[in-house]
Amino acid sequence: MKDRLQEENIQKLYELLDTALQEDWEDEAIDELYQKILELSFDRLADKLTQGEKFDLKDPVDLYSARGVYEHALERWESGDFKGAKELFLVLSFLMPVRYKESMLLGAGMCAKEISLERFLKEFVDQERIDEGSFFLEHLTPKAKEFLAKNQELIQKELQELEKIG
């Protein structure tokens, strides 16, 4: 495992993490792997922001980096860190390809209203369309579209706040 941590290949680190989770490795080893993934993900995020580029999800490094940031946003949301999750979703709404913008903005809006991740998953994600190979919750229910329409002003305000910071 130490060799994989040294080579800094985020795709291989995710493959190793998947194996570690399936084989029920010790929590310490799993945490170490995940921390390295987050480090690489946020380094790539910083590069994208600095260069003014979007993630190119055809590039494995960008795909797995975006996945790392997205999963971290979901973790923050689940733990009740609505502000941190909201900020990550807003940043991702700028950096992800257009097809994911709506789902990132939905996450930001739900976090701004402090709606639980559990409720989001139950009511706003089309569970039947979740693909095992997909890393992002992009298939939304009609209720999600209604939420976005009703909360458009709130989401725009949050985006403007983020732009002031940047």
d(CA 154, CA 123): 20
Model confidence pLDDT, tens digit, residues 135-165: 999 999 999 999 999 999 999 999 998 877 6
Cα pseudo-dihedral 13, 103, 58, 162, rounded to 10:
-80
Q: What confidence score (pLDDT) does residue 166 get?
A: 57
Average pLDDT value over all residues in the chain: 93
In the chain, % of residues over pLDDT 90:
84
Query: Which of 40, 103, 36 is closest to 48 using CA atoms?
Result: 40
Give, in order, the Cα–Cα distances in Å from 88 to each of 5, 93, 111, 143: 25, 9, 10, 23
Model confidence pLDDT, tens digit, residues 10-44: 999 999 999 999 998 999 999 999 999 999 999 99
Q: What is the DSSP letter of 125?
A: B
Model confidence pLDDT, tens digit, residues 77-112: 999 999 999 999 999 999 999 999 999 999 999 999
Q: What average pLDDT does the segment 65-70 reach? A: 98
Q: What confidence score (pLDDT) does residue 130 get?
A: 86
Q: What average pLDDT does the segment 58-87 reach? A: 97
Q: Where are the beta strands (DSSP E) in 2-148?
A: none
